[in-house]
Structure 1
Amino acid sequence: MVNAIALLVLMLIGGLALIGPSGVLAWGENAARLGEHKQRIALLEERKAELANRVALLDPNNVDPDYAAELVRGNLNVIHPDEYVVELEPID
């Protein structure tokens, strides 16, 4: 009786090691997901660097005048009297 229970437990552990969520058969899927996550992390790190650059350009002690003018014009729709606005249709 004890041997049968021990054998069942051992078979259960072996089955989980083979087909469980972190078993041998799941390694391929986990490796693919890892690759996808690494690509996503690379994109997020690139976006983070872009945002860090924008924050640095908006430092209150040393604001980049070109970037500040770009933000003001974009957000407030303000232009100089000698400038022209050309509206273009979006390309689908």
Structure 2
Amino acid sequence: MRQALALGGLLLLTGFAIAGPTGLLAWSENSKLLDQRHAQIAQLSHERDELRNLVDGLDPEAADPDLVGELLRRNLNVVHPDEVVITIDEQE
């Protein structure tokens, strides 16, 4: 009787080691999720760096005049009567 219980316990543990939530079969799925998370982190880091550059360029003590002009034209549609605005779509 003890041997049957021990065998059943070992088979149960082996089943969890192979097909459980952290078992061998779940490794490939976890690996795919990890790769997706790394790609997402890289994208968010790039966006963070762009925003940091934007904030640094808008420092009230020393704002970048080109950046301020670009933001005024893009967001508030502020242009002089003799200016022509040509927009270029950025490709990612």
Same fold per superposition (TM over 0.5): yes
- The equivalent of 2:45 in structure 1 is 45
Instruction: State the number of aligned residues.
Output: 87
Cross-structure match for 2:57: 57
Correspondence list, 1:1-92, <5 A: 1-85=1-85
Whole-Å Cα distance in 2 between the matches of residues 47 and 86 of structure 1? 24
TM-score (normalizing by structure 1): 0.80
Name the TM-score, length of structure 2 as normaliser: 0.80
Give 1:68 deviation, angstroms: 0.8
Consecutive unaligned residues of structure 2, counting only runs of 5 or more, are 88-92
Q: Report deviation, 1:3.
A: 3.5
**Equivalents in 1 of 2:31, 2:86: separation in Å?**
50
Instruction: Structure 1 unaligned segments of length 5 or more: list them.
Output: 88-92
Aligned-residue Cα RMSD (Å) equals 1.9
Of the structure 1 ranges 30-39 and 78-87, higher mean CA displacement relative to structure 2 is found in 78-87
Corresponding position of 1:90 = none
Q: Residue 78 of structure 2: SS of its match in structure 1?
A: coil
Cα pair distance change 1:12/1:59, threshold 3 Å: same
**Shift of residue 26 of structure 1?**
1.6
Output one character per residue of 1:4-31: Cα deviation in whole Å (capped at 9) or x when no partner: 3333222211100001111012212221
Q: Which runs of 4+ in 1 moved over 4 A?
A: none
